[in-house]
Amino acid sequence: MADEVRAAQRPGPAVGASVLRPDAEGKVRGEARYADDLTFAGMLHAKVIRSARSHAQVVSLDLSAVEAHPEVACVATPHDISGENIVPVIYRDMPLLAADVVRYVGEPIALLAADTREAAESAAGKARIEYADLPAVFDPREAARPRSPQVALPVGAETGNVFNHMVIRTGDVGQGFAEAAVIVEGEYEVGYQEHAYLEPQGVIAVPEDGGMTVYGTLQCPFYVQNAVANVLGLPMAKVRIVQTATGGGFGGKEDVPSHLAAMAAVLAWKARRPVKLVLDRAEDIATTSKRHPGFIRYRTGAKRDGTLTAAEVEFYYNAGAYQTLSSAVLWRGLVHAPGPYRIPHVKVDAYSVATNTVPCGAFRGFGSPQVIFAHESQMDELAQRLGMDPFALREKNALREGDATATGQVLAESVGLGACIEKARDLCRWTDRQREVAQFNKRERFKRRGLGVSTVMYGVGMGAKAPILEKAGAYLKLEADGSVTLAVGTTEMGQGATTVLSQIAAEGLGLPVGLVQVAPVDSSRVPDSGPTVASRTTTIQGMAVLDAAKKLRTKIEDAVRNMFACPEFTVEGRLFCIPGEPRKVDLSEVARWMWTHNRDMGTTGWVEGSPVDWDAATGQGNAYFVYAYACHVALVEVDLLTGETHVAGFWAGHDSGRIVNPATARGQVAGGIAQGIGYALTEELASRDGRILAPSFTAYHIPTAPDMPEELEIAFVEAPYSGGPFGAKGLGEVPLMASHAAVANAVSAAAGTRLRVYPAIPERVLDLMAASA
């Protein structure tokens, strides 16, 4: 390549977007909108050369034609990795680039960087790879068998292809089923769910100052920092991660950005030039993480009066070729498998299994929606067998304050499940609605309606699986003009964190929220506050912000006392009322005084989650420091001629403690309901032999505005949590967890037979109708 390179050109951003460009010193100033909007002088565009086979030995890799392309600046193979060819997540089993064996279609083998994105695409097609196919396995139950083809690397697996086997053992299920008057058994199956975030995965790696800076759309900057440092063999202090605007993550931008950032960084390190790697939508869907497909067997027993006596669960999650986050996903599924109910005898066996498929990872709900589909279906089956109302059965067995969960955790406070059930029943006018549905079904010849209920609990935060991540820091600085800068390590990705954390800071300071500005997330300038996952931001990050705010408030008040030599004064927003002073003193005057008198105008806050504990041998312990709860009701209408299902009405009652911002909270719930509707009804991602068949939104149908219910009501019952800011606890993941199960139960009610496979696409619904005829 010539020494002089032209600046990369691309169309200008959309109206309202801003572009980062380097200044004369090569530094980037300003605030990015999206990673794909960033442009650097001399920037190269990366392309990943991926496996076309699900399981094969790489016999030869010929990149000579790629390197000969006139616009290709460099290529990279495992030999070009200066650090370790491993992307660390929980386990260290996943290579950045496959060296000898590929284990799924789409696994990265080599990288290239070219002057333009078009040139990179063209050059990648010139790679010549010779494979020797190996036996492959795609079903987790088959892969778990002793003589199945070996997929998992020993460093990531407990035995064979079983990444993890986890258990809960409570009481004696044999005794529990002996005490049962009614026993219901069911098998349930769920497929992939695609995250469908607004912008696809994208990063830019910029070599500078003997290190590497990465800009990207991501959830967890410190995960990315660790991965890039590991792959480049650099100290973490030499790796800087800057989050650009992120239009949704839903878990899909928790671990995957580490892989992309490390690939872009390897190329940038070799070329000594900025490198952009942005996946197109098809590549994103085909090769990045999904919700784990699962197979669940469930057996539930109850006495004649509806009292639950026992639950026995066995489930298998298809983890894909590498661990990524599967052990954490499985653990949450394990803890949530019994549901939000008092059950004296519980046995759960949970397996995450390696297969020759794309690795799965985090997704909103994190392993719990799959088992919730099963346990809420079981509750409706039990209600039908017992002749009980579905609400009555749930209310009878719902966990309340002082009860113990299936893991033996006594719920000492903030248990609003009973109130959620009552609120949801009132919102939907349950008895009247049942009568209306019956009249509709009697009247209509080609349509049928059904009502469904679900109740859920959700462990807030990382829990006993990862207590070392349950921490957060915050930095607050009073500026010389009286405004306030807040810096945190958790990220905004559309969930409203910036607004809520600003409110918490303002409330803690006793100031108007408009004075608080949240700084962009940059790993070199903000504290590691753990990952932005598990509905933990408001609770954990919020407490760190509140801690910092109280300390800064003390500094401000001390300054006022020193300014006016008065021990007492009153405060009205940003105004201080000083005895004997004819006017009120504005905060800006106090801030200026502090600045001119060389006062420390910054504070740090820090918090750790409440203690948790866990016995892996029995599945007993305090799994989470607190739980959130919800009860949802769905009304569906099924077209008997086409099998199409529409959610006509939806009612949701939530307990997430004190709601800091009702508007953003309602938005979270409505968005979760939409995702749940998609999971239950439309979002089918077909695959064959480990290959995603149609990776596009033409074939993969996410809900749009017309798919939302005409009648939608959301209400909050606030059971305050003493360990959260102003009594708040997590919300973000709960709405999806509850919504899909309510829709599934409504479909089953309309069909007159049980839905056991997700999603309920028209063909499956017609089969259900035919089976009940």
Average pLDDT over residues 244-267: 97
From residue 631, give the alpha-carbon distance in Å to each of 429, 449, 687: 14, 20, 33
Are 83 and 93 within 8 A, CB to CB?
Answer: no
The total of other beta-carbon atoms located within 10 Å of residue 281's CB is: 14
Measured distance CA(213)–CA(274) in Å, rounded: 9
Task: Name, in order, each residue with C-beta under 8 angstroms of 415's C-beta and a sequence gap of 6 or more.
Answer: 399, 400, 401, 403, 627, 629, 655, 719
From residue 245, give the alpha-carbon distance in Å to each of 84, 521, 592: 30, 10, 33
The total of other beta-carbon atoms located within 10 Å of residue 305's CB is: 10
Q: Residue 13 pLDDT more than 70?
A: no
Are 627 and 482 within 8 A, CB to CB?
Answer: no
Is the bond into 759 cis (omega within 30 degrees of 0)?
yes
Sorting pLDDT into bands at 50, 70 and 90, what band is 33? low
Average pLDDT over residues 315-327: 98
Convert the pLDDT of each residue in 543-597 to its tens digit. 999 999 999 999 999 999 999 999 899 888 899 999 988 889 999 999 999 999 9
Average pLDDT over residues 616-624: 98
Convert the pLDDT of each residue in 260-309 to its tens digit. 999 999 999 999 999 999 999 999 999 999 999 999 999 999 999 999 99
Q: What's the one-letter identity of residue 325? A: L
Which helix (H) or strand (E) segment is 712 a member of? Answer: strand 711-716
Are 45 and 9 within 8 A, CB to CB?
Answer: no
Average pLDDT over residues 337-365: 98
Convert the pLDDT of each residue in 442-459 to its tens digit. 999 999 999 999 999 999
Sorting pLDDT into bands at 50, 70 and 90, what band is 3? very low
From residue 491, give the alpha-carbon distance in Å to each of 29, 247, 576: 20, 11, 34
Q: Which pLDDT belongs to residue 705?
A: 96
User: Cβ-count burial of 47 within 10 angstroms (0-12 exposed, 13-18 middle, 19+ buried)?
Assistant: buried
Convert the pLDDT of each residue in 472-493 to its tens digit. 999 999 999 999 999 999 999 9
298: left (phi over 0), alpha (psi -120 to 50) or beta: beta
Beta strands, E only, 465-535 = 471-478, 484-488, 516-518
Average pLDDT over residues 694-723: 97
Convert the pLDDT of each residue in 16-26 to its tens digit. 222 333 343 33
Are 731 and 535 within 8 A, CB to CB?
Answer: yes
Q: Which pLDDT belongs to residue 773?
A: 78
Tokens 């060296």, residue? 99
Average pLDDT over residues 8-13: 29
Measured distance CA(248)–CA(200) in Å, rounded: 10
- Provide the mean pLDDT of the chain: 94
Q: What share of the chain is helix, strand, coil (3-state, %, to 5)?
A: 30, 25, 40
User: Cβ-count burial of 5 within 10 angstroms (0-12 exposed, 13-18 middle, 19+ buried)?
Assistant: middle
Are 36 and 246 within 8 A, CB to CB?
Answer: no
From residue 692, give the alpha-carbon distance in Å to each of 326, 358, 715: 20, 9, 39
422: left (phi over 0), alpha (psi -120 to 50) or beta: alpha
Q: Which pLDDT belongs to residue 618?
A: 98
Convert the pLDDT of each residue in 628-679 to its tens digit. 999 999 999 999 999 999 999 999 999 999 999 999 999 999 999 999 999 9
Alpha helices in 233-367 (DSSP H): 256-271, 281-287, 326-336
Task: Name, in order, each residue with C-beta under 8 angstroms of 432's C-beta and a sequence gap of 6 or more.
Answer: none
Average pLDDT over residues 63-67: 98
Q: Residue 470 pLDDT more than 50?
A: yes
Dihedral of the alpha carbons of 494, 743, 192, 641, in degrees to the nearest 10:
-120
Convert the pLDDT of each residue in 416-435 to its tens digit. 999 999 999 999 999 999 99
Which tokens is 738 given? 């509850």
Residue 515 DSSP label: G
Are 312 and 338 within 8 A, CB to CB?
Answer: no
Dihedral of the alpha carbons of 520, 524, 530, 532, in degrees to the nearest 10:
30
Sorting pLDDT into bands at 50, 70 and 90, what band is 36? confident
Are 199 and 247 within 8 A, CB to CB?
Answer: yes
Q: Residue 1 pLDDT more than 70?
A: no
Average pLDDT over residues 51-80: 98
Are 28 and 20 within 8 A, CB to CB?
Answer: yes
Q: Which pLDDT belongs to residue 18?
A: 29
From residue 447, give the alpha-carbon distance in Å to each of 441, 450, 723: 7, 10, 49
Q: Which pLDDT belongs to residue 37?
A: 73
Convert the pLDDT of each residue in 519-542 to its tens digit. 999 999 999 999 999 999 999 999
